[in-house]
Amino acid sequence: MGTKKERVHPDCVKAAIVAAAIVAVLSMGFGMARAQGQEVKIGVIYPLSGPVAHAGNMSKDAVSLCADYVNNKWPDLPIPIGNWEGIPGLNGAKIKLIFADHRGEPDRGADLAKKLIIDEKVVGICGCYHSSVTKTVSTVCERHKIPMINPESTSPVLTKRGYQWFFRATPHDRIFVRDFFEFLGLLHQGKVPGVKAVPKSELRTIGACTENTEWGAGTRDVIKEFAKQYGYEIVSDVTYPHESPDLTAEVRRLLAPKPDILMFASYISDAILLTKTMKEFKAKAKVFWSQDVGFYQPKYIETFGNDTEGILNRTVFSKKLFAVKPVAKNINVEFKKRSGVDFMGTSARAFTGMQAWAYVLNEAGSTDPEAIRKTAETIEIPGKDLIVPWKGIKFEDVGGETNQNTWSSGLIVQYQAQEPEIIYPLDVATAKFVYPWPGLK
């Protein structure tokens, strides 16, 4: 004989359904509720003191300016964030940046990331300039499942670790170094404006000089890989300790084989010391190329003036873009008011990285980390909204990399009369190539 079923009163059923619905709505909206009408905290980790503080503080000024554009009304700004007055997808919530100074120390960067995540309850991290610091900070973010958008660190290793919470906006060193060797190929073919075809026999040997942190070591590996692939010979391969007090022995070894091409990866203090030492040796070569960073800072130009003539830098930004990127010119005016200098590669990427954060938060409509991560994986930010000359921002998994912006691209600029003229890609070149490099006297 079966048991008798108890009847449940209809009002109780209705009450249970309503209660369940309320719980579901509250659960779904928890992340958004944290931000509505209030603020969204983003931790920003840069070197604000120490040898590269100048670059770190320019990046700080850049991300601060971007947050200001997002948070307030800027009717003359010809891109969407100028009209937002807060993040629309979060009911006008304002971005609050919490800055931390890693001083160029990877372990300190990791500790700061933990503090920002655990104590400050940031929804994500932006930074960190140094690839070595980005490596440790991103590991902390991965462990805590907090999104990190990296605007400017270029070590190829960073997107080869399979991390799901790390997103890199900038091109990396494989792209930049490949661009340089492709430019050399055009030079051999006589396709570079201002220069007749240069026989490969005249431009064949390379002297590489890189510092020994994560970024420098990565650059060195890529230079060796592409030199072999494109048929060049590395005749001097010099590494040195970051922030070395003396580089005389290293410069002597670099220049001794008289390489046709000099290639560098150095932060600002090392770049200045290397150049001063090379001046003592009256360094000569046919081409001088560097990985942006130390050789592409206002302080470097101020220090060496006319001695910068003919030096090549990889970058993503030049003032010469203003003719084709009016939005970059518009934003640069405000940036220069605040920082005292024009945008350069690092600061332009920092601005772009914070802009990516704003777009991701807006499209996610939530401060829940998982919602942010999923949005970052699918977002497509058009190049017309950016100050850098990219197709846009789209984080993809490709070629063994995870969450790399495949819509990013690089430039090669050459100092001419202390101005960074674009010489590659050829379709956006703003000047003829000065060849050979005049050398240091």
Q: How sure is the predictor about 13, in pLDDT bands with cuts at 50, 70 and 90?
A: very low
Model confidence at 30, pLDDT cuts 50, 70, 90, reads: very low
pLDDT value at position 415?
A: 96
DSSP string of 223-275? HHHHHHHHT-EEEEEEEE-TT-S--HHHHHHHHTT--SEEEEE--HHHHHHHH
Q: E strand or H helix at 401, and its extent?
A: strand 401-405
Answer whether 90's CB lies under 8 Å from 379's CB.
no
* Distance between CA atoms of residues 233 and 177, nearest Å: 15
**DSSP line for 102-117:** -TT-HHHHHHHHHHHH
Residue 2: per-residue pLDDT:
38
Dump pLDDT digits (tens) for 363-372: 999 999 999 9
Residue 10 has pLDDT above 90, yes or no: no
Residues 139-163, mean pLDDT to the nearest whole number: 97
Band of residue 28 on the pLDDT scale cut at 50, 70, 90: very low
pLDDT(20) > 70:
no
Q: Is the dihedral of CA 349, 79, 148, 223 positive or negative?
A: negative
pLDDT value for 324: 86
pLDDT of 258 reads: 98
Question: Is the pLDDT assigned to residue 15 strictly greater than 60?
Answer: no
* pLDDT the model gives residue 293: 84
Handedness of CA 282, 284, 290, 295 (dihedral sign): positive
Q: Give the pLDDT band (50/70/90) at residue 26.
A: very low
Determine the Cα–Cα distance for residues 314 and 209; give it in Å rounded to an integer.
Answer: 15
The CA distance from 339 to 142, in Å, is 33
Mean pLDDT calculated for residue range 333-348: 95
Q: How many CB atoms lie within 10 A of CB 310?
A: 18
For the chain, residues classed under CATH 3.40.50.2300 are 33-171+325-405, 174-315+411-428
Residue 313, strand partner residues:
290, 413
Q: Distance between CA atoms of 47 and 242, rounded to whole angstroms?
A: 15
Question: Is the predicted pLDDT of residue 78 greater than 80, yes or no?
Answer: yes
Q: Which CATH number fits domain 33-171+325-405: 3.40.50.300, 3.90.740.10, 3.50.50.60, 3.40.50.2300?
A: 3.40.50.2300
Q: pLDDT per residue over 107-133, tens digit each?
A: 999 999 999 999 999 999 999 999 999
Q: Under a CB-based contact definition with an 8 Å cutoff, are residues 53 and 47 in contact?
A: yes
Q: What is the pLDDT of residue 16?
A: 42
The pLDDT value recorded for residue 160 is 96
Helix (H) or strand (E) holding 138: helix 131-144
Would you say the pTM of this structure is higher than 0.75?
yes
Average pLDDT over residues 249-253: 98
Average pLDDT over residues 15-44: 54
Q: Kindly state the tokens that stand for 339.
A: 């920082």
When pLDDT is cut at 50, 70 and 90, the band that residue 19 belongs to is very low
**DSSP 3-state assignment of 163?**
coil
Its CATH architecture, for the domain 174-315+411-428, is 3-Layer(aba) Sandwich (3.40)
Q: What is the pLDDT of residue 32?
A: 41
User: How far apart, in whole angstroms, are the C-alpha atoms of residue 184 and residue 327?
Assistant: 32
- pLDDT tens for 181-223 read 999 999 999 999 999 999 999 999 999 999 998 999 999 999 9
- H or E stretch at 207: strand 205-211
**In the predicted model, is pLDDT for residue 389 greater than 60?**
yes
Helix (H, G, I), strand (E, B) or coil at 379: coil
Computed over every residue of the chain, the mean pLDDT equals 91
